[in-house]
Amino acid sequence: MEKIRVNASKEYDVLMGEGLLENAGAMIKSVCGASRAFVVSDTNVFPLYGKTLRASLESAGLEVFEFVFEAGEGSKNISVYSDIVENMCVAGLTRSDVAVALGGGVVGDITGFAAATYRRGIAFVQVPTSLLADVDSSVGGKTAIDLANGKNQLGAFLQPSLVICDTVTLKTLPEEEYQNGCAEIIKYGMYGDRELFEKVEAAPVKENYGSVIARCVDMKREVVEADEFEKGPRMVLNLGHTFGHAIEKLSGYKVPHGKAVAIGMNIITTAAVKLGFAPEGTDERLRNVLKKYSLPVETSFNANEMAAAAAGDKKTYGGTITLVIPTGIGSSELVKVPVSELTKFALAGGLR
């Protein structure tokens, strides 16, 4: 088992290894000291790992309650959130109890937001079961749900008390979810670690799960510790996300997050080369890696549609938005631009 300590406003450990789920109850009990655990999962993950987690929690002496919702980004809404907190209330959870997210990014986001707002905050543990959640969404304390007008528009910062990444769960990961996770890993390499980029360029991520996940978590730890509430440096984690979120919104969330980010990375990197931020060939090299992992690089949405959707992104401040622009493989910079210039970047990125 590998452990990475995150020293944010709340200090916590990210545990990574095989077979951790069977001992999750004892780990959670030790950290949180709760007597009740409210497990939130979805219809894809719960049938696979719900029984194991429940047995582990009960063996540690916790009373267990469960809430399972329909899998998919479409469930990350205010209605499902309302059902979760209502059921927390019915279960009689108090501020000394713990919410446990068993699943991917959607489960972690909505469970974290419920924990952040129920009784003004209860303890929260992440048990990610997807590659994307392992390397990104389970760490850092961002919690949210989507609104009709945009992704992650209603949220709060709540650092988890513990993150348990059992890599055994990746063995049941559908190919599309593997690809989505790889998109976020490529993002890490692209914005700030040339060596990581070259590693995933040279060999499949699944051949190096342990070292790749650990490196991504450590990179996220660094930026979270430097800028927990995303006022500056943490924004580098949004590489590809401005246009990626626009694609998700415009597609009615039919395009999953990882694939949308892959397209968003290609758009902004192509624009970076054309506008002189990055050297020639940077975009082509990125596209080659994305295609290697069967990730898309194009969208049917045009520049005006994308710019309008991106203008409503939560990262806008007044009339400006901060873009993460690659300056090469493994390096990037934050550039604040007027929202009115989003169309220019979209066109430079190859959109019509």
Task: Report CA 93 to chain centroid distance, whole Å.
Answer: 27
Contacts of 343 (CB under 8 A, 6+ apart): 303, 304, 307
The CA R_g of the chain, rounded to the nearest whole Å, is 20
Catalytic residue among 73, 177, 184, 228: 184
The total of other beta-carbon atoms located within 10 Å of residue 317's CB is: 10
Catalytic residue among 76, 221, 241, 259: 241
| 3-state class (DSSP) for residue 320 | strand
Give yes or no: 238 in active site.
yes
Tokens of 128: 């990610």
Catalytic residue among 199, 257, 259, 287: 257
Give yes or no: 241 in active site.
yes
| DSSP 8-state secondary structure symbol assigned to residue 290 | H
Give yes or no: 280 in active site.
no
Give yes or no: 230 in active site.
yes
Give yes or no: 234 in active site.
yes
| DSSP 8-state secondary structure symbol assigned to residue 20 | G
Catalytic residue among 245, 249, 259, 287: 245
Give yes or no: 245 in active site.
yes
Catalytic residue among 187, 199, 220, 249: 220
Catalytic residue among 177, 228, 230, 248: 230
Catalytic residue among 54, 142, 187, 249: 142
Give yes or no: 220 in active site.
yes
Give CA–CA dist 49/99, Å, rounded: 16
CA-nearest of 276, 337, 341, 270 to 299 is 270
Give CA–CA dist 96/102, Å, rounded: 20
Catalytic residue among 215, 234, 249, 259: 234
Catalytic residue among 44, 238, 259, 266: 238
| DSSP 8-state secondary structure symbol assigned to residue 45 | T
String of DSSP letters for 314-325: TTEETTEEEEEE
**β-strand 142-147 against 36-42: which pairing, if any?**
unpaired
Catalytic residue among 120, 171, 231, 352: 120
Give CA–CA dist 34/56, Å, rounded: 14
Give yes or no: 257 in active site.
yes
What positions carry a catalytic annotation? 120, 142, 184, 220, 230, 234, 238, 241, 245, 257
